Amino acid sequence: MHRIGYILPEGFQVMALATQAVFELANLLVGQPFYAVETYALDGSARASTGLVLQAKPLSAHRSADTWLVAGTIKPMPSAPELIRLLSKIAARARRIAGLCTGAFILAEAGLLDGRRATTHWYWAEVLQERYPHIQVEADRIYIADGPVWTSAGMTAEMDLALALVEKDLGADIARSVAHRLVMHQRRSGGQSQHSEMLKLAPKSDRIQQALEHARRNLAQPLSVEELAEAASLSPRQFSRVFTAETGQSPAKAVEGLRLEAARLMIEGSRHPLEVVARETGFRDRRHMREAFLRGFGMPPQAVRREARIAPPA
């Protein structure tokens, strides 16, 4: 049996507890109690940011666990010294430990992230880096596993981290089945961005929004400025000017971002050959897509596929 221990600090964010459903469903799918989940708080109870008071086991009376998950708080705050002392002791004996959302700050206080890559909610990533310069903070990642220490972005990304833990333990098929039971659209890999391209562009006018929607639905097509301008009912010159003013990007740069996002999702969630992915998302060929991935993500498509642990077809 694999023991999972949750540590709830005062003011914890209740979304962290939702990840327990991942381990519950994994047990159901494998037909035996593979995971045993226990919840701890420093003094045996903790108040959530919503006001909910949860009774838990005193952390000082903890049993050994293979994996520990440390919940975050809405706003990072200094932890009780006793919590940090116990956490350091616990981590030394655990197989792995994870900071959920701003739980990364608690791991950092305990020195567990020194010299490691880590992430957290995008809103607090810069603060984490400033407070703890010995950490390599990657602000735009869903989750990161650096050896035995895991960290996740906020809220729903905690579910992705929990699913990744299940995949490590029980395999990709079980993890995908758990995600399906949870009615999750997809299980995102750790390298995926915390932000969607459409949300990042955030155009102010309906016309530019219509052009972007047209682009998103027709990524396999060339998508010239003239075609996008027609979708927005503007002249090409007007369209380029208004588009850049509203989104901060040129039409060509924005379309490449949409292509990259679509290609990454296909690579992470399917077994299609890279040539097919390139064609379906509008890149000239596999080489063109690779160049765009290196610019946009700092890694080639093959590395994204390896990170998602989906083997390409033979």
Residues marked active site are found at: 101
Contact 184, 137 (CB under 8 A): no
Give the contacts of 248 (CB within 8 A, at least 6 positions apart). none
| CA–CA separation, 286 and 282 (whole Å) | 10
| CA–CA separation, 19 and 14 (whole Å) | 10
Q: Residue 106's closest CA among 8, 40, 5? A: 8
| CA–CA separation, 86 and 103 (whole Å) | 15
48: Cα separation from own chain's centroid: 23
Give the contacts of 104 (CB within 8 A, at least 6 positions apart). 72, 113, 118, 119, 120, 128, 151, 152
DSSP 60: G
Contact 245, 231 (CB under 8 A): no
| CA–CA separation, 247 and 245 (whole Å) | 6
| CA–CA separation, 241 and 307 (whole Å) | 39
